[in-house]
Amino acid sequence: MEQKEIELLKLLEKNGRMDNDTISKMLDVAPVEVEEMIKQLEKEHAILGYSTLVDWSNVYEYEGVAALIDVKVTPVRGVGFDKIASRIYRFPEVKAVYLMSGAYDLSVSVEGKTMMEVSRFVSDKLSTLDTVLSTTTHFILKKYKHDGIIFDEGDDDDKRIMVTP
Confidence of residue 1 (pLDDT cuts 50, 70, 90): low
To 10 degrees, the CA torsion angle through 139, 52, 24, 33?
A: 100
The neighbour count for residue 105, using CB atoms within 10 Å, is 22
The pLDDT tens digits for 4-40 are: 899 999 889 888 889 999 999 999 999 999 999 999 9
pLDDT score for 151: 80
What backbone phi and psi angles, to 5 degrees, belong to 106? Answer: -125, 145
> What domains lie within the chain, and their CATH numbers?
3-44 (1.10.10), 56-143 (3.30.70.920)
- Find the radius of gyration of the CA atoms of the chain: 20
- What stretches of the chain show up as alpha helix (H) in DSSP? 3-14, 20-27, 31-43, 82-89, 115-120
Residue 137 is predicted with a pLDDT of 97
Better-predicted residue by pLDDT, 57 or 122: 122
